[in-house]
A and B are shown apart, each in its own frame.
Chain A
């Protein structure tokens, strides 16, 4: 495969020679965007020289050590509950995976990183840290403040600290393993959400078995299904959301070459994750045991969604800038139009405006395909370092083909 620098604006429908110097500037901007953003960088989990790899491996092993016996020993008794929770948790995960895949619209997160985040969140955070960590802290609360107080507040004052920090360290380990791939707050939102999703699915599997145990093993399918319906209805405020906020907050707190440090914003996002989680888990006590608990849950969900959309909005700005810089030379050479660049590099609103302005259904579908093809081109350009290799040329030819 050849990889020659694309310094020839005359190739194809490029700009005229008077614009050559500005085109060179655009190419330099693209190269800088790729270098700073880390887009197109590969991810490999197996990194024996990286201390984060060994700690991550240890957490996954410890998690499996705790997870397997609890399922193997009781599988005969809770087979129906286990299978039902596997199916329902899988459905829950599929819905979230679809949502996350759609949200991952600028730089596409490498599949191996997604899988690592899911496994580390599920086995590492949930079963190596949270499961053994929650009970002792709850026990301390009970000893210090009494049974009635503990019934009200121990969950809300345990899970947000133990579980958010557990998922937070999993994200930090992934940051140590993929420092070039994870560079912006938006990367934090996406990778953090995958860590949280892994945690959620494995926790739901445990809850499924617990709900069967609490009902003395009767009607296991019905009990697990009803738990699933409840969690699906209230699923927006879930671990995927909490961890997305927490991880984005960590990126702002730490700062990277692509994301300047913003301590205030970072603290706000980390606190938002902890507080939303805590209020959700203490909703019964906050509502003073009245039916107002539904109001508390709805308000918490609304606040959670507002904070998430704000985080996506401000976090996406950096990604949008990178996308614009990477595609700008393509606009200059006429591969894509101004409005296509706006739609591809902009937020959801710009994309929606571009699609809705299509006159008919067929045009709208073609525009969707064009945006996907532009995404492919940006990905190939990032991977090639901005050079014109076979994949980049193929991506451009695909755009021409779709336009007919």
Chain B
């Protein structure tokens, strides 16, 4: 493949022997390469990803790391762990923040995120609610906040969420100086069917030693 030397900035008319549906055929090589690379990353690789099933399922006894400060949660058994570390995992890059936890099963997704938080649990839930509504383009309706207490005695707040396509919940717990946000969403029937394991997971949030 050689460099195209067609100067279309200077010459507007394509020589007849190179014309193909109004396009200069000599400009096709780079255009085809560019389109092929785009197709590789945006069509082919996602298709390969979709074809590979999640084999990493949560097992009895698993404990997931919510924050490096020792905040953990016990996931429901049998869910696909798409992101997140078990407390038994030992990545080389031990510093930094813990990756968010993403669990999935039959269309229901549980996302657990953490960050330093100096405000109250109610402030955290308000802030998380505002972001969720913003991200949903205003189509998300929220239920009233309800109190709950984890098995470790930590106070938390939870509210239901509802959008035209999914139901779910939004929960917040503040553990020391760490805020934990849990988002659950999925088809309404599936969310209802998984309500009990999700409740157990919420109440399992704790900090090492507590």
Asked if A214 and B8 sit within 8 Å, CB to CB, the answer is no
CB neighbours (8 Å) of B46 from chain A are: 132, 136
CB neighbours (8 Å) of B7 from chain A are: 41, 179-180
Asked if B24 and A285 sit within 8 Å, CB to CB, the answer is no
- A42 at interface, CB cutoff 8 A: yes
Smallest CB-CB separation from B3: which chain A residue?
A256
Smallest CB-CB separation from A149: which chain B residue?
B91
- A83 at interface, CB cutoff 8 A: no
User: Taking each of B30, B33, B42, B49, which has the highest tally of chain A beta carbons within 10 Å of its own beta carbon?
Assistant: B30
Nearest CB of B to A218, in Å: 6
CB neighbours (8 Å) of B16 from chain A are: none
Among A140-148, A198-206, A341-349, the stretch in contact with B: A140-148
Asked if B48 and A216 sit within 8 Å, CB to CB, the answer is no
CB neighbours (8 Å) of A287 from chain B are: 93
Nearest CB of B to A158, in Å: 10
Smallest CB-CB separation from A128: which chain B residue?
B38
Interface of A, helix, strand, loop or mixed by DSSP: helix
- The digit string for B85-122, where 1 denotes a CB below 8 A from any CB of A, is 11001111111110100000000000001011101000
Among A170-178, A239-247, A323-331, A371-379, the stretch in contact with B: A170-178
Given A215-B116, A217-B127, also A49-B89 (CB < 8 A): no
Number of A-B residue pairs having CB atoms within 8 Å of each other in the complex = 196
Smallest CB-CB separation from B41: which chain A residue?
A133
Contact-residue size bin, chain A (C-beta under 8 Å from the other chain)? 35 or more
Given A129-B42, A173-B31, A216-B179, also A42-B127 (CB < 8 A): no
Nearest CB of A to B12, in Å: 7
Asked if A293 and B95 sit within 8 Å, CB to CB, the answer is yes
- A321 at interface, CB cutoff 8 A: no
- A338 at interface, CB cutoff 8 A: no
> Which positions in B face A, CB cutoff 8 Å?
1-10, 12, 14, 22-24, 27-35, 37-38, 41-42, 45-46, 48-49, 52-56, 81-86, 89-97, 99, 113, 115-117, 119, 124, 127-128, 130-131, 133-137, 179, 181
Q: What are 19 contact pairs spanning A and B, CB under 8 A?
A: A49-B12, A52-B34, A59-B34, A73-B135, A133-B42, A137-B45, A139-B49, A143-B54, A143-B55, A146-B89, A152-B92, A176-B29, A177-B9, A180-B9, A180-B10, A214-B113, A287-B93, A288-B92, A289-B95
